Amino acid sequence: MYVAVKGGERAIEASWRMLDTARRGDTAQPELSIRQIREQLRLSVARVMTEGSVYDEDLAALAIKQAAGDLVEAIFLLRAYRTTLPRFGYTRAIDTEKMEIRRRISATFKDVPGGQMLGATYDYTQRLLDFSLLAEKDPSDSTSAEDGAAGIATGATTATTATIAGVAGVTGAGATAQHARVPRVVSLLNAEGLIEQELPTPDAAEPGDLSREPLSIPANRSTRLQNLARADEGFLLSMGYATQRGYAHSHPFAGEIRFGTVSVEMEIDELGFAVDIGDIDVSECQMINQFAGSPTVAPTFTQGYGLAFGHCERKVMAMALVDRALRAEELGETIHSATQDPEFVLYHSDNVEASGFTQHLKLPHYVDFQSELELVRRLRAEHAKAAGAQHEEHAA
């Protein structure tokens, strides 16, 4: 029960106006455009799209702008908007082996079919502040563009637009054209039967839809993966880190991480076949883990999996680590850590729910607190009375 505050409505409306002013900042400075946010804060846009469950770069950029850069608030805004959208149907599962690859690495094999492509990454930078970025460049200045083109021509590892082997940091004897179908690295282990097979079965149940159905425990793997895709990246990163420090039966290797563009197809009833309705950027990770086997299963490698919108490789790596940890029960492993407990991980991973439940403490709780206050006063009075009686008894 909340007590109405006198003048609260006027105060709230004034707060909205102040929020708009604070968000805009100094009006003498140019206002950020949606396109600027989309193009130059692409990693933030990717996270908001993934955890907001909406693939739309413009809407994600708008949410970031409206939230003044608060990504959790932006995710909340995008999810709220998502609830107003109609559902036309479901697309086919995307085929990431047909990905137009812009980045692809493996930590398990040096030479892999299709080669390794470093792409645009912070992995090989020195993490030093680049003060040259303080100087705002004139968009009409073509020098930087020419420098970038020269870098591509010499095989710079940060190139992302090259289409032939030997460019964009492609390495390995099997380096192929960027647009060719590139099989997954785990196919090398599949050939020897050294890794579990993860193939769809005709009689498999349709996956649930967490955007329409509440989470319930126990949850199958498809539901868990949906939850992890929408989960807060920081939470997943902490859980994934914990699994590596011993809070799970896990010794992971990054089998493959890839980022690129895939086509999305949808079955059209009136046509009787699937049509390509567009392309999306996705990041994917397959983590390879040891498995000692069981009385019925020979020792083999198992997998953890992660998939997210846009360039989110840190997210998909953490997701793959946590996915594997949550498979402990189905693999017959002893559950001894919170990272292996589906209820703990899944129910506490959603930043929208966590933020709402935490921030609701800012709302009026006057009645609740007054009852607690009266209780503590009464208990203290009883405690003082008992202490006084005990003192008199000792004095006598």
What pLDDT score was predicted for residue 147? 46
Domain presence at residue 349: yes
Domain presence at residue 310: yes
Residue 303 φ then ψ, to 5°: -130, 150
Burial 263-293 (b: 16+ CB within 10 A, else e): ebbeeeeeeeeeeeeeeebbbbbbbbbebee
Its domain, for residue 35, covers: 11-82
Average pLDDT along the chain: 83
User: Are both 221 and 367 inside the same structural domain?
Assistant: yes
Closest CA to 275 of 262, 260, 264: 264
User: Are both 221 and 72 inside the same structural domain?
Assistant: no
Q: Letter for the amino acid at 359?
A: Q
What pLDDT score was predicted for residue 140? 57
What pLDDT score was predicted for residue 325? 93
Distance from C-alpha of 30 to C-alpha of 8, rounded to nearest angstrom: 34
**Tally of domains in the chain:** 2
Evaluate if residue 149 carries a pLDDT over 60.
no
Helix/strand/coil for 229: helix
Report CA Rg, the chain: 27
Distance from C-alpha of 282 to C-alpha of 312, rounded to nearest angstrom: 8
Q: Letter for the amino acid at 167?
A: V
Strand partners, 206: none
Domain presence at residue 184: no
What pLDDT score was predicted for residue 47? 96
What pLDDT score was predicted for residue 52? 94
Cα dihedral 162, 164, 167, 173 sign: positive
- Quote the tokens at residue 137: 């460049």
Strand partners, 200: none
Parallel, antiparallel, or unpaired for β 300-309 and 116-117? unpaired
pLDDT digits (tens, 9 = 90+) for 305-330: 999 999 999 999 999 999 999 998 88
pLDDT digits (tens, 9 = 90+) for 10-50: 888 888 888 888 888 888 889 999 999 999 999 999 999 99
Domain presence at residue 168: no
Distance from C-alpha of 56 to C-alpha of 59, rounded to nearest angstrom: 5
Domain presence at residue 199: no
Give the end of a domain, one of 48, 82, 116: 82
Evaluate if residue 361 carries a pLDDT over 80.
yes
Cα dihedral 214, 302, 244, 229 sign: negative
Average pLDDT over residues 141-161: 39
Average pLDDT over residues 278-295: 86
What pLDDT score was predicted for residue 67? 94
**Length reported for the chain:** 396
Give the end of a domain, one of 82, 114, 134: 82
Evaluate if residue 225 carries a pLDDT over 90.
yes
The model's pTM: 0.81
Average pLDDT over residues 166-186: 58
What pLDDT score was predicted for residue 160? 33
Centroid of chain to Cα 322 = 12
Average pLDDT over residues 48-70: 95
Evaluate if residue 1 carries a pLDDT over 70.
no
Closest CA to 339 of 225, 239, 253: 239
Taking a C-beta distance cutoff of 8 angstroms, is the pair 247, 337 a contact? yes
What pLDDT score was predicted for residue 211? 83
Distance from C-alpha of 337 to C-alpha of 238, rounded to nearest angstrom: 13
Higher pLDDT, 67 or 200: 67
Give the end of a domain, one of 82, 103, 136: 82
Average pLDDT over residues 131-146: 65
Residue with tokens 């082996």: 97
Taking a C-beta distance cutoff of 8 angstroms, is the pair 114, 269 a contact? no
Average pLDDT over residues 104-127: 88
What pLDDT score was predicted for residue 167? 37
Higher pLDDT, 238 or 182: 238
Closest CA to 74 of 41, 49, 37, 40: 49
Centroid of chain to Cα 179 = 26
Domain presence at residue 142: no
Domain presence at residue 198: no
Average pLDDT over residues 182-197: 81
Higher pLDDT, 128 or 172: 128
Domain presence at residue 274: yes
